[in-house]
Structure 1
């Protein structure tokens, strides 16, 4: 009988557990998602849900009534979705009746004797993880932003980090009302860039949107958001702004099958199509609360549902036991492992640490067992493209309306926005935006920036104050500007030149025919003729074949004659230059070779001279009043200047060159500086004024003002770049885009388009200045080299010829080679006398008398021969025979004997 009764009790208890276990839920009437999740979770856990709605926030009397009604219905616990002061009322009543009270949010701290279970991570967890994140990020300062009415208790450790030892500066800002922009603007004006935000999820989207509106979502700003619902929001509008945003996620998307099952059930019940990562944390905690109740009931052997009256202050018998099991159980829920301390706080929490990047949400680490482990993944290079870095971001771009960089469009219609402008800068930023995927708005700023009273003006000031993102125009990269802003890689190189008007044409000078060759060419021509004359004499004297018999009828003449005297050699050379020829004709190989090379040389020189002479005789040339900046400085009647405050003027101000310093002093003192480039161009056209201008602007001006030209070279070398704020993350992307455009040749095409085509460009292309070019040594050096090489070869051949002749004579007369070589060189190097005696062999008897007698007979025979030759030669040989008078013959005999 007892066994039957026990069996009946167990079956009855099982029936009660299965059919009559009610769980109460108190929610605001507009919390439809929570109510749906509560009903679904209760059904999945085989509980009967009972929902009570609070009409509006702060209705404490309604909350008290709902708790008493649920207690009267015999619920086994209450899930609190109200929070705030309402939760205090719920907890006080549940504590009296010993009903389990499960809280889904953490708005306040409660006394330690309160018997509740808080599924939200405890303040200790947030203090620890955020403190380690701040140290990991190496912040030197940060600002706490919290919604009014929320406690700072969970951030007490962070506030303690602001002591002197940690050297951290901490600011605190309370966000109240429905508009947070005033507080956010104040934070921006104070230079705050690092923020820790303690904000309920229902206010989080509004806070982020207003922070973006006031400019606190730029690349220099960083956020740590405490709400685990950060990444359930649509973050598309923030991901491309460059802001560093860190948040937390309690759910495990990778391994939790129950999460996907719950999401499918929830979507089926509500008709929504949410993904698991889009579920709010409170919805997941409702399900986890049911799992905690379910696990505790399995361990509780007996349980009797009891109807309780608030007025009786009656406690539920099984309430404390159920609460103890709920606190001590280890349950796996949708928000991972649920563990509680003795006070019902969830201190051992595991969650992911996420970061918002341009390529989406990225898990950078985990918080587990009170340890922060950063495991930031390497994002593939394919994902870190320019498109993901700046896509959908709108940048404010500063431009000028200085041609060709920017113009106001000429249109019959009223244009607005970016359509109002055109020019090189407008096209360039359009191509960059096409590569990087961002949008842009133009703002005109004519001041490229200068320092006034210690402060920057114009473009640098706006970039420094975040009033603009980029500045693109003729923005010169200077060291002074780079000290306050950053520049992109240069997109155009240039230098400072001198713009001046075309001088009037001058007729050719009287001796302009002499200007064909430079002075040094003329000098070398005269010198080379004299030197070549000496070479011809020497080569002729040492060449064996150049010594000829003047009387062919005498087979064995006593003397030989040479035609290469100094006068004859120079005449041969001059006749070749004048293209008239000469009766002098070389006989030996070496003189002929040298003469041929000389003729080739004269052919080149004469052809070059005649070809260039026409221009010098017919073209009227410009006579420039100065050729370079030094001559301009010395000129007394020409004023000069630059654009005041521009980089060109700054070049003269900062220059250490003495002339440039004096020029700066002079043009400043005399008021020669102008306010714009156009003013400078007008002065150049209408007065004797030289304008220092950047070479790119000079090129542009010359295409539209044909009476202007650039004089001299460039004074310096510099570049144009795109300006941006110091340490801007835009730089790396802008640099890559510019590099791509350079490699494609797009920048060169744009320059040709706006310099030479659009807006009056190309007007001066057909006016080619026919300026004569004087031929200098660099033009004629090749001809001189050929002549020199030919002379050296001729000298070498004539030397060989001389050595061969010396060798034959030494053999013929039985003398040594050295003796004959020395005698030959003595005779050749005298450079005097064109008659060379023929040497006779010596007699073999050896007696001095015999030799003298033979010599006497030879002299008498030679004298008779010369006498006959002098009377019988033709008149054409008169010049030769007349030289051999009796006096000359005696001299010849004397020479012969000496030789």
Structure 2
């Protein structure tokens, strides 16, 4: 089977051939060690390391021949830059790299003179990302004028950027200025160089230093600007080399607004940030927060980064470009290597790095000279703020013998296109919605379909107050859910893709959506509850018996019999007996029904018994009356759903919610057992629906519960009398307005929403679209029908009891009459006499008394 062995060997060799490096003797990759300088106070340096690695993307021969390895060097612990000389630094670096088995092939980080000396001697490239160290420096690159051979500087030289400002003063013939800068000498070296160049051009300069770390910095800035106003100084230079940390520019702008300097057309502010990041002008959100859209003064700054996009920070931009420079440099190193060797040449690598040319890096155009400094780049002079915001008014370059040649003030203005990206609202605001009652509904009109609803009223109000034009279109796929590939669909996807400016309607603010896009303040508070079909009314004709249980009714009947027996025993064998068996029952029945009788008991024992029995009757009747109204007006819905627990345990009713909704995600990820049971029940019964309208239709068909937004369910309950809302809302959330991350109009919309809430307009709209549109009352009856009236169904049992009593009386009467007619006359007469005696309620003793009174001479006296 030799051919199988050969075939297997080929399968193993072919991948090796593809990945073999032709530049080395053994075909293996060069082990390339890239060391990243790390601050001891922030040893992880994860953002910079991640940015660097993400931007180093080797391909082709470079990928086959190079195997980059990344390590971190702490400037204090590993190198001892703060306390050691260059010799000790070299030893520290060797010790730190000992576990790598080789010295570093490249060092990346801010500038340290002592480290530059070591790397110069060792021939190791030093890719400099900043002019000075993290929190300590032995000498800034601004002061250092050494022509290093191994240094490659990513940022343009500070001296050249300062020269551009000086040239502007010279060309405009501005003779004086006030400079505001940080107080710490380690932070204002760039500013000192600018001041020196201005003085050399005979510009009268008054510098002011501000302790940006002090709480009293604002007071000092106010005093400086007050002097500016009193002295009518028209030119203010704000030099802030670390504005990302110090926020000096924003502090000056806020103070200048208080002194009304921003509304003066003759006032000039020149901002100097050598990183060219200029944090207050980095995006429109910051500019709107500082109210820079309506100013009339001149805000000027030279930038090598055009304000067309946003980076996280100036340092991040430097590391992005560092990754691209390394990628191009390594590719150039491998492609220009002609000999086969296992040695990686540091000298050739330095040369390759200096030969890199990037026409559009994050920090501008990138070209280097022989000493590793940036050349051929351009600085653009921009206006920032006002009607001419982001207008490019000049271009500056190193080529030229004087200020007029270097500063070209006739460049075409491209500020209009940039301004469009940063204006508060675009020319047309596209609003994506989802058709959902009563938020957004279509209505037929002469001119075609238009929209109405709570959201439309809100949008119309915002457009009038904030002055923007809008167009509405329906979302292609509901509200939005994050897919497996990381993209979003629905309203969220429309915002992220730039198709829509605003997403409005019943879109809930969730944590995942908040990460993808920005939201305004909450417009309405909502939750999740259950919509079910309203069960049919179940009345019973003997519902009036329900206030008391069967046991209580038997007990009352028993008490009636017992009391009757006690009356009979207390009156037994008395000379004047009134409580015969028949009279006793009649007296007890009359007392129980509060009818009263023709006579009252005379003995004290009977009166005590009567008092106790009357009190018992009083409490019993009062309790019955109090409960009877509730029981007669309460409908018996049988075995129905009234909570999430009962829905989860009810096997007769299926349930569901809208696919790819916030409610579905909540139930799917719920930790409580009841929500897990509900989710399992939804999956088992295939209860998920495409939209709320489909869910409402299933509810109307019966045996289905729709778990969804409380506000939407409440509207449906008021519109359709055959549905009802149950369970207290859970998952309390806010409906908001979605917009792109960092949208400049977010603050404006939030302020307007607060105004609408404060003046009660939001509540008025809510009443208009929920309460006033309600067609059904809480009991599911049409609101046009009278409420609170009893019908025959409520009192049917009472009528039956009355009819039963009347029937028994009539039957007994008829029975007696027919019975007497069937007997002889003599017996009938006797019977009639007996009946008459019974009817009069007299006994034998009474007949004897009457007979004696008839024969008496004295007439009877009636008392």
TM-score by length of 1: 0.38
TM-score by length of 2: 0.40
Q: Which has the larger radius of gyration?
A: 1
